[in-house]
Amino acid sequence: MASQSLSAADRLQALDPQAARRALAARVDGRLVDLSRLVEPEAPVSAVTPADPEALKLLRHSTAHIMAEAVRALFPGVKVAIGPAIEDGFYYDFEYTRPFTPEDLPAIEQKMAEIIKSNQPFSRRMAPKAEALAAFAAEGESYKVELIEGLEGDTVSLYSQGGFTDLCRGPHIPSTGKVGAFKLLSVAGAYWRGDEKNAMLSRIYGTAFFDKKELKEYLHLLEEAKRRDHRKLGKELELFSFHEEAGAGLVVWHPRGMLLRYIIEEFERKEHMKRGYHMVQGPQILKRELWERSGHFDHYRENMYFTEVEGQAYGIKPMNCLAHMLIYKSKVRSYRDLPLRYFELGTVHRHEKSGVMHGLTRVRAFTQDDAHILCTPEQVGEEILGVMKFVTEVMAIFGFDYKLELSTRPESSIGSDEDWERATAALVAALQKSGRSYEINEGDGAFYGPKIDVKLRDALKREWQCATIQCDFTLPERFDLHYVASDGSLQRPVMLHRVILGSIERFIGVLVEHFAGAFPLWLAPEQVRVLTVTNRADDWAREVEAELKARGVRAESDLRNEKLSAKVREAQVFKVPYMLILGDREVDERLVTPRLRSGQNLEAMNVEAFAARLAEEAQPRVDAQAKEKQ
């Protein structure tokens, strides 16, 4: 007698009763399905439990449906749009007679809690398309109607729980009672399908976890992220500002912020020169014909700005590679000259939509620590490894761990299949030789070549895209670059595009949040503030400040006729690493009494001893934890 199909839940129960009890869904032939789904007898089945990496996404998607049910119950006439799980939670978009506000969230949360407590099952059915269209149209759910009309096939997948039915591919957790802990976080406006020509909807964001402890930890991280927000700290620390009258996404650097930027850029110049890079600089605008030849005009022009000079069209550069190729092509190159490494702290401009700009981390004008390495095909592997080593050493100095992703050919690209295969193979070989694990990010390469992306992890375990290494066989072909090989023939070089920190603006934004504005001594724009107890110490304070500045210390004096406690408090607001307290004893004995920004007081010492302490502490070095991760 032939075996009959059983539900995934029944199959799991027969295979592993213990796993079946914890299962939220099943994996059949590598595909996630509901526990109620019928499974062919021969199909391999495994349980998806809360420990599974994909389980949290299932939970959050299901919680989004619970939120939609609650909103519909509380706000008659509301229209439901879409509600996916996202990286840290979920959202749902709604159309209502008024925008939702934070004051609406407690009532929605209370209704959601009731739905969760009722432990309603999630059930799926395949419905005829015409039937689903009629049902949603009758309820006035115009967004669901539009979505269904755009789907192929004669049937659609519907999920129901309680009195709520939604268009959804699934899968879902077995019932609403499986939601352990949730929180609605915020509201925002969002255009339908992300198009500003469409209706503005109300988006409610939330998150969900399997237990209350995980939720509590996450909410703590959110509060910590708010405290560390670089936009808030940038204003408090007087680092930078944005001005509507100047233009969106354009940074105005204040003295303290510019000094921080200068410190980072000087560090970069020295590190690049140590590794055999040549410093270069290209113009801000280049003729449109060059951008057409490179492929930027066809594949990147929506991100570019253009202007006209004496009837000639120019493109404001979004990248630095074109000028570097012109430098290479300015004379005949021999294989003996290679590799050539050109480095530029190049300012570029890119047209970012207003909705995606965010402080320093997404701007329209920024500076990249950009370099292009031109080498022989035989050298490309070692050059990629050299860049990876460079990244590792620099990130360890800043105290960052990171992960790697290999981004492959996008749909919109240039170059032959053979060149893309060669470039991808070179990156894969270097990754394997490095011994570091990596993930594949399909279709996210540059339009001219695949790349290795470096994702930093900050103090709050968030990931940031900074460094990248791109392997390019295509642009050297388009610009007819060549070198004289050892046999006298003309050969085509390979070009590596790479950044270490990436956008200086974005990196500073990440640094501000990573350190919560309390920079290590070598990065601090103001390293020492000299504070006087009375006016009698003013002359000694000026002398101390001058002596420290002469030794290269970034020091300032606060000689105001204010209480010492007020001066200390202001220095702590600016997160100055050291305060030097000067009272009568310090004046009489020509000493300084250091106080750390943590509040710790050190013993009084002479200026020479204090300067020696600073000189030792202010050297960029790999900290012990970062060294262990290398």
Catalytic sites, residue numbers: 321, 350, 368, 370, 372, 451, 497
Contact 404, 398 (CB under 8 A): no
Cα–Cα distance measured from residue 578 to residue 566, given in angstroms and rounded to the nearest whole number: 16
* Calpha distance 384→499 (Å, rounded): 12
Q: Tokens 């320093």 appear where?
A: 360
Q: What is the DSSP string of 289-312?
A: HHHHHHTHHHHHGGG-EEEEETTE
- Tell me the backbone φ, ψ of residue 440, rounded to 5 degrees: -100, 130
Phi, psi of 466 (to 5 degrees): -130, -80
Distance of CA 292 to the CA centre of its chain: 30
Q: What's 277's DSSP letter?
A: P
> Which segments within 544-619 are labelled E, that is strand?
555-558, 578-582, 593-596
Q: Cα 188 vs. chain centroid, distance in angstroms?
A: 21
Contact status, residue 179 vs residue 208, Cβ threshold 8 Å: yes
Contacts 24+ apart (CB under 8 A), 595-602: 595/568, 597/518, 597/571, 597/572
Q: What is the DSSP string of 357-383?
A: -BTTTB-SEEEEEEEEEEE-TTTHHHH
Cα–Cα dist 598/594, whole Å: 12
Residue tagged 């290999």 (tokens): 406
3-state SS of 97-151 is CCCCCHHHHHHHHHHHHHHHHCCCECEEEEEEHHHHHHHHHHCCCHHHHHHHHCC
